[in-house]
Amino acid sequence: MATKAMNVRTTQTKQSLINAFFQLVSEKDFEKITIADITTRALVNRATFYAHFNDKYELLDYIIGDSASTAIEDFTSGVVKFDQDSIYQLVLGVCYFYEQPKIQCRSSYVGLVVPQLKDKIVNELNMYLMKSLENIQTDIEKNFYVPIFAKIINEGALQWASGNVKMNKEEVAKRVSSIVIGTYESSQ
């Protein structure tokens, strides 16, 4: 019972640090945010912050990574398959990931956050695709296809999120999933 209470408290503390960070990034530049700012806003001491994160960069990395894995999990309903519908859902999940950052992006965050967003979501896509092709492909084929497909999915969603294409996200998902599945099927 004590372990369960400890886990709940740990989760609540981590969430209060995350919430404090979100509040602060909408008010000031990332470089000017201190650990003291975060802990004061979260109503915890510095030692508590360091029990969860090494620094504010690790906190940001955690937030982005958690958002990436949650987006994929939510849109695929936890089902790992390699088919037209699953790829379609992956594209929608990545679109959602790019459109929903809770951080009110100040111009100073663009260079810091955007590369991290791409890295995290492509990593999550790689893991999903590796699992989905587990029983279908040899390791050599997986190592060839997975990073290519992950980047195609990411780029399609990113083009939509950036406003570079004049189609809705469902149309982007339809086209990207057709490209991925068509490429895979034509190679078999």
Could you list the residue range(s) of the whole structural domain that residue 180 is in? Answer: 56-187
Asked if residue 96 and residue 175 are part of one domain, the reply reads: yes
Across the chain, which has 188 residues, the per-10-residue mean pLDDT values are 54 88 85 94 95 92 84 91 95 88 52 75 94 84 93 94 91 97 88
Asked if residue 130 and residue 70 are part of one domain, the reply reads: yes
The domain tally of the chain equals 2
**pTM above threshold 0.85:** no
Asked if residue 74 and residue 60 are part of one domain, the reply reads: yes
Domain of 16: which CATH number? 1.10.10.60
Looking at residue 104, its pLDDT comes to 47
Asked if residue 46 and residue 4 are part of one domain, the reply reads: yes
Asked if residue 174 and residue 92 are part of one domain, the reply reads: yes
Of 53, 70, 85, the residue that ends a domain is 53
Asked if residue 106 and residue 40 are part of one domain, the reply reads: no
Asked if residue 136 and residue 124 are part of one domain, the reply reads: yes
Asked if residue 61 and residue 20 are part of one domain, the reply reads: no
Asked if residue 69 and residue 28 are part of one domain, the reply reads: no
Looking at residue 88, its pLDDT comes to 97
* Total Cβ atoms within 10 A of residue 96: 18
Asked if residue 91 and residue 11 are part of one domain, the reply reads: no
